[in-house]
Structure 1
Amino acid sequence: MKLTILGGGGFRVPLVYGALLADRGEGRVTRVVLHDLDDSRLNAVARVLGEQAAAVPDAPEVTATTDLDEALRGADFVFSAIRVGGLEGRADDERVALAQGVLGQETVGAGGIAYGLRTVPVAVDIARRVAHLAPDAWVINFTNPAGLVTEAMSRHLGDRVIGICDSPVGLGRRIARVLGADPKEAWIDYVGLNHLGWVRGLRVAGRDELPRLLADPGLLGSFEEGKLFGVDWLRSLGAIPNEYLHYYYFNRETVQAYQQAEKTRGAFLADQQARFYEEMKRPGAAALSAWDRTRAEREATYMAENRESAGAGERDADDLSGGYEKVALALMRAIARDERTTLILNVRNQGTLSVLDADAVIEVPALVDANGAHPVSVAPLPEHATGLVCAVKGVEREVLAAAESGSRATAVKAFALHPLVDSVNVARRLVEGYTDVHPGLAYLR
């Protein structure tokens, strides 16, 4: 099987290749094509992959190209992990938003809208080219904002595009671990949008163990989300929210922490990865060890401002392993081999949540087989969660409308309607600020 990775010069690509190296089953990926616009980044990542594969017999063949059509032709799976504007663009997203006193995180609030506005046109072009050049391929989208981008691509690819995220997987794993359960044996009742979801139950052998966790302050405060949100708030919710909901529930404190930080997350990663890619230009540099060292620092500092504002301390060592590459591999295996499994994915609603239309992309457990991913029926969300999901989905639809029409007024509307943007005038200034720094938003008129 041929896997094409878009954004193939991206820093986290070795995680995906590492998962492929561990797969020895029939029908596994045997050829990987890396595509990126930056040839030097492609070369750097290819060196890391070469060292990963050195001691592995029959490792998947790796080739690299800057020609998108060449990369797509004949693909069985297309993994999309592009970053339009690079990490410098992410840093600009954060800076412009914080100057207006609002959140600039890459998927949540003003920063997520700005990122979506410049990413959706590119993702739509990719979807059209996949439909033309590789109509039988399955697209796995990890490009952020993942739910929004998946929905944009689904308008051209239907259910052959599926979005993935490691946040729900990590959350379910942490809850199961603290309850003494095997995550592989647990059913996680998770519902929402990407980076806007809640675990409402965790069933082991038919029994919901979440009430036991909520009733025990010691257990509840012993893992990442308990430290981040606080025991009292989690017990009030009666659910465990995705960590990204900290930006909503504790917005004022988080914005203040970001404003006071020496560097924003985007600026930190831009500097850190620039050092890595620069080091990879030296012929004798040990590529894999340099990548491992850089990745460890990246993971340890994840959501550092949120944890600081909450007094949550350092991340646990067990939470530094990522996980999206395992979701991607499990998804590919289920489709290619018809190995039925259940994964938390970003898929079209198809009536799963009655408050949203059938084409709205949501994040829920889905049964996966050779015919793709099928959302599992879930109970309705409580009113507070429903309101937030509907509001954010409404914003996503305005982003899609602005990207399609090029309407600056619609872009302003998208910003102004977001729960974390508190004024129409702020929304106007955000659009002005973003169009000033992002050439990719010149289409807004």
Structure 2
Amino acid sequence: MKLVVLGGGGVRSPFLAKSIVSNAHIANITEVVFMDNDGEKLNIFGGLSKIISERINSDIQFDYTTDAEEALKDADFIITTLRVGGDVCRTYDERVCLDLGVLGQETTGAGGFGMAMRSIPTLLEYCDIIKKVSKENALIFNFTNPSGLVTQALRDAGHNNVYGICDAPSEFIKQMIRAVDSTAEEFSVKCYGLNHLSWFKDAKVNGVDVMDKLLNDEAVYNSTDMRSFDRELVKIMGDTLMNDYLQYYYYRERKVDKIKSAKCTRGETILDINARMFEKLKGIDVEKNYDEAFDIYMEHYMERENSYGLIETGVERIDLLEKMTIDQFIDEPDEGGYAGVALNFIKAFVGGKACEMVLSIPNNGAIKELEDTDVVEISCIIEKGKVTPVPVDDIHAMQVNLMKIMKLYERTAVKAITNTSREKAIKALTIHPLVNSYSLAKEIVDQFIDKYQVYTAKWH
């Protein structure tokens, strides 16, 4: 089986390669190809990934290339993890919005629309190539942000082999499992909503309800993603646990103030760290000096990851990472991340034991308040050749309201981007609850179109 990663020249590539190769047996993966159109970065991060792959499992054929058709030829599985426009465009997305007093966060915020303007057309082109040269029933796992919106666009275009994946729900579920001193086999919970806008309820251990324990345990509000939320808000929302990204909706003005008072945005932080890393790495022969290259890589990667959420919350992440040598990195047990989600999906889908996981897929009646074609983030049962969302009843009215508004935004945004329509784009951002203003939406859209001429030349 052949697995291809589109966006294989990204900074996270060595971690992604480790996860894929370490768990390749789960899905009978024998060939892995990392593809990226930035050859210079691919040579560094793809090169590091290849060395890691060979040291973990030399039986896996691992290659990297800038040729999309070559990479995707006869592929069985594809993971998309693109950042179209790079870190520079991300910083512009954020600043345009922030200067207008609007959250520019790259998935939930209006900045996500800027990223979608670049990501969706590019991924539609890749999907056409996949249709032409990959295996007939190739599966596509989209991790490109804003993941829910992008997955909706690809599904709307008829690419019914696309599944949105995100490691946020699975990581939070791991935190819940630790909080009740349980195991993945014993624990179950229903996730429902949209990507980066989801809730969790009906948590059980061996069929016994543990929601009250999770909702009222002080440690949960100190040492899990629930530390972003007040207990009173949880009660108001109907006593359900929440995806960490919901903080951007329920504490909107605090987040804007926090980011404005910081010296730089998250995107600007990443741009600086990555630029310093790349400058040090580009003069090194990765193949001959991989220990030195990996040491530089890991130093900057730790700085990047350990600063996650710091600007927006003012507190460090829960699980601070420690710098490792390449040997320590390879020996460290792998927790999977979004690659693990994809590989476990593959195993169950192609004929393994049925499993449950959170995916972004068409609703198909699981949340009755939304349309069947709406892509939702929801617990799913995966078994041979079939993916079934777990129905969710009795959803709190406030949650339904936010979901319906955001889906109206997403539907309109997809139409705007696929039809290159300025008017529809303004309409979409006017709907968005974190913008909710025609004048602001108009200003944001016009600045994006003007700035991204290489991507927006056909917009009208």
Distance 1:387 1:155 in 2: 23
Equivalent residue runs for 1:190-229 within 5 Å: 190-216=191-217, 218-229=218-229
Equivalence for 1:81: 81
- Offset, 1:406: 1.4
Distance 1:167 1:276 in 2: 26
- Offset, 1:24: 6.0
| Residues 309, 317 of structure 2: 8 Å contact kept | no
- Offset, 1:184: 3.9
Larger mean Cα displacement after TM superposition, 281-290 or 162-171? 281-290
Equivalence for 1:341: 355
Change (3 A) 1:26 1:252: closer
Which deviations, in whole Å up to 9, do the C-alpha atoms of 1:94-132 show, x marking residues without a partner?
000001100000011211112112211112222222222
Change (3 A) 1:354 1:202: same
Distance 1:28 1:424 in 2: 51
Which ranges of 4 or more aligned residues in structure 1 deviate by more than 6 Å? 318-322
| Residues 26, 344 of structure 2: 8 Å contact kept | no
| Paired AA for residue 458 in structure 2 | Y
Identity of aligned residues (%): 32
Distance 1:113 1:56 in 2: 39
Unmatched tracts of structure 2, length 5 or more: 323-334
Change (3 A) 1:223 1:251: same
Equivalence for 1:444: 459
| Residues 23, 340 of structure 2: 8 Å contact kept | no
Equivalence for 1:36: 36
Task: Please say if 1:307 is aligned against 2:321.
Answer: no
Which deviations, in whole Å up to 9, do the C-alpha atoms of 1:37-72 show, x marking residues without a partner?
100111111221233134334342221221212211
Equivalence for 1:246: 247
Distance 2:114 2:53 in 1: 38
Unmatched tracts of structure 1, length 5 or more: none
Equivalence for 1:317: 319
Distance 2:299 2:138 in 1: 35
| Residues 350, 385 of structure 2: 8 Å contact kept | no
Which deviations, in whole Å up to 9, do the C-alpha atoms of 1:65-101 show, x marking residues without a partner?
2121221110000111111111111111000000110
Distance 1:46 1:132 in 2: 25
| Residues 176, 224 of structure 2: 8 Å contact kept | no
Distance 1:345 1:104 in 2: 25
Secondary structure of 1:92's counterpart equals: helix
Equivalence for 1:291: 297
Secondary structure of 1:19's counterpart equals: helix
Equivalence for 1:13: 13
Larger mean Cα displacement after TM superposition, 170-179 or 388-397? 170-179
| Paired AA for residue 356 in structure 1 | L
| Residues 228, 306 of structure 1: 8 Å contact kept | no
- What RMSD over aligned residues (CA atoms) do the two structures have, in Å? 2.0
Change (3 A) 1:82 1:409: same
Change (3 A) 1:235 1:383: closer
Distance 1:288 1:337 in 2: 38
Change (3 A) 1:86 1:176: same
Distance 2:395 2:321 in 1: 27
TM-score, normalised to structure 1's length?
A: 0.94
Task: Please say if 1:383 is aligned against 2:413.
Answer: no
Which deviations, in whole Å up to 9, do the C-alpha atoms of 1:204-226 show, x marking residues without a partner?
1111211122233x233232333
Secondary structure of 1:359's counterpart equals: coil
How many residue pairs end up in the alignment? 440
Equivalence for 1:415: 429
Equivalence for 1:2: 2
Larger mean Cα displacement after TM superposition, 19-28 or 407-416? 19-28
Equivalence for 1:433: 447
Which deviations, in whole Å up to 9, do the C-alpha atoms of 1:266-290 show, x marking residues without a partner?
1111121122223222123623333
Larger mean Cα displacement after TM superposition, 285-294 or 431-440? 285-294
Secondary structure of 2:25's counterpart equals: coil
Change (3 A) 1:46 1:117: closer
Which deviations, in whole Å up to 9, do the C-alpha atoms of 1:232-263 show, x marking residues without a partner?
32233311110100000000010111111111
| Paired AA for residue 249 in structure 1 | Y
Change (3 A) 1:32 1:219: same
Task: Please say if 1:358 is aligned against 2:372.
Answer: yes
